[in-house]
């Protein structure tokens, strides 16, 4: 059994039937992120690993390294690795669990579903970043009180902005890969393997070093990992490499979503 619907169908031909309110679609997509075993345990793992990494840093680092900026950097590492998987699962679950037939029957406009999914993972990603900043702040206070840490709050608005940008770019890129491939295992593997291989290529070939920030998203975002803020040139690098690794996969994946046949089995 299959269903084929118009991507642009927002309401029923019957004027008495209205489209599903977008806020309801958003609530449903938010619930889907947490009420499946994969989504629940992924979010749990993100929280536990983030706390564990910060705790290890708290007790291993030298007192003069116990600053808010360093704690934020410690929190960014596990989140930048795991949050994109949440974006992948938000898309691929419809196909791996075969719930797409129900989803796209109740809401025929696949574009609205895609937007609701993207907004849902973005909101969860923002919440995760806020929690990480809170844990980092508490850890900085604990370092000052119990371990004679430096305890400096050397984080400006630009640092916070770039921290949010780093995590959101990653989660949207994961969403784009999931949309493009529509297979959980393939999307997760290729999300990690292709950028790493691409990055290694630029690292090994000296002649490509100058163009690496323009073509490799990891290189473009490297200043944040080095505890620096993005300059206008860095933002230009991110815009170009982000178009290659985020915007184009997202656009092609969306086109595939709008045209793909949905099967119940």
Considering the domain boundaries, does residue 63 fall inside one? yes
Length of the chain: 265
Q: How confident is the model at residue 1 (pLDDT cuts 50, 70, 90)?
A: very low
How many CA atoms are closer than 13 Å to the CA of 146, on its beta-carbon side? 9
Q: Which of 238, 251, 232 is nearest to 212 (CA)?
A: 238
Considering the domain boundaries, does residue 195 fall inside one? yes
Q: What 8-state DSSP symbol labels residue 67?
A: -
Q: How confident is the model at residue 3 (pLDDT cuts 50, 70, 90)?
A: very low
Considering the domain boundaries, does residue 83 fall inside one? yes
Q: How confident is the model at residue 264 (pLDDT cuts 50, 70, 90)?
A: low
Per-residue pLDDT reduced to its tens digit, 124-177? 999 988 988 999 999 999 999 888 888 888 778 888 888 899 899 999 999 999
**How many separate domains does the chain show?**
1
Considering the domain boundaries, does residue 206 fall inside one? yes
Residue 129 to residues 32, 83, 157, 255, Cα–Cα distance (Å): 20, 10, 14, 30
Considering the domain boundaries, does residue 3 fall inside one? no
Residue 249 is part of which domain span?
21-263
Tell me which of 19 and 15 has the higher pLDDT. 19
Mean pLDDT of the 65-87 span:
89
> To 5 degrees, how large is the angle CA 121–CA 27–CA 258?
65
Q: Which of 11-15, 20-24, 215-219 has the lowest mean pLDDT?
A: 11-15
Considering the domain boundaries, does residue 104 fall inside one? yes
Are the C-beta atoms of residues 159 and 72 closer than 8 Å to each other?
Answer: yes
Are the C-beta atoms of residues 92 and 184 closer than 8 Å to each other?
Answer: yes
Considering the domain boundaries, does residue 13 fall inside one? no
Considering the domain boundaries, does residue 123 fall inside one? yes
Mean pLDDT of the 246-253 span:
95
Q: What 8-state DSSP symbol labels residue 3?
A: E
């Amino acid at each position: 059994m299959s269903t084929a619907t118009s991507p642009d169908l927002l309401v029923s031909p019957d004027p008495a039937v209205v489209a599903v309110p977008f806020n309801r679609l958003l609530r449903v997509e938010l619930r889907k992120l947490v009420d499946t075993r994969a989504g629940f345990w992924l979010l749990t793992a993100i929280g536990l690993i983030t706390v564990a990494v910060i705790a290890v840093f708290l007790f291993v680092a030298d007192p003069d390294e116990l600053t808010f900026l360093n704690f934020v950097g410690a929190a960014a590492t596990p989140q930048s690795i795991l949050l994109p998987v949440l974006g992948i699962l938000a898309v691929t679950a419809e196909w791996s669990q075969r719930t797409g037939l129900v989803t796209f029957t109740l809401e025929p406009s696949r574009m609205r579903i895609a937007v609701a999914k993207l907004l849902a993972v973005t909101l969860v990603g923002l919440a995760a970043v806020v929690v990480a900043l809170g844990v980092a702040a508490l850890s900085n206070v604990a370092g000052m009180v119990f371990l004679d840490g430096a305890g400096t709050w050397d984080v400006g608005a630009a640092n916070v902005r770039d921290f949010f940008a780093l995590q959101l770019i990653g989660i949207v890129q994961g969403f784009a890969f999931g949309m493009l491939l529509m297979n959980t295992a393939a999307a997760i593997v290729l999300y990690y393997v292709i950028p790493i291989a691409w990055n290694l290529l630029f690292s090994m070939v000296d002649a490509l070093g100058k163009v690496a920030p323009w073509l490799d998203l990891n290189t473009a975002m490297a200043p944040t990992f080095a505890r620096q803020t993005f300059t206008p040139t860095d933002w230009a690098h991110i815009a170009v490499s982000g178009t290659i690794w985020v915007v184009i996969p997202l656009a092609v994946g969306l086109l595939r979503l709008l045209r793909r046949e949905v099967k119940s089995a």
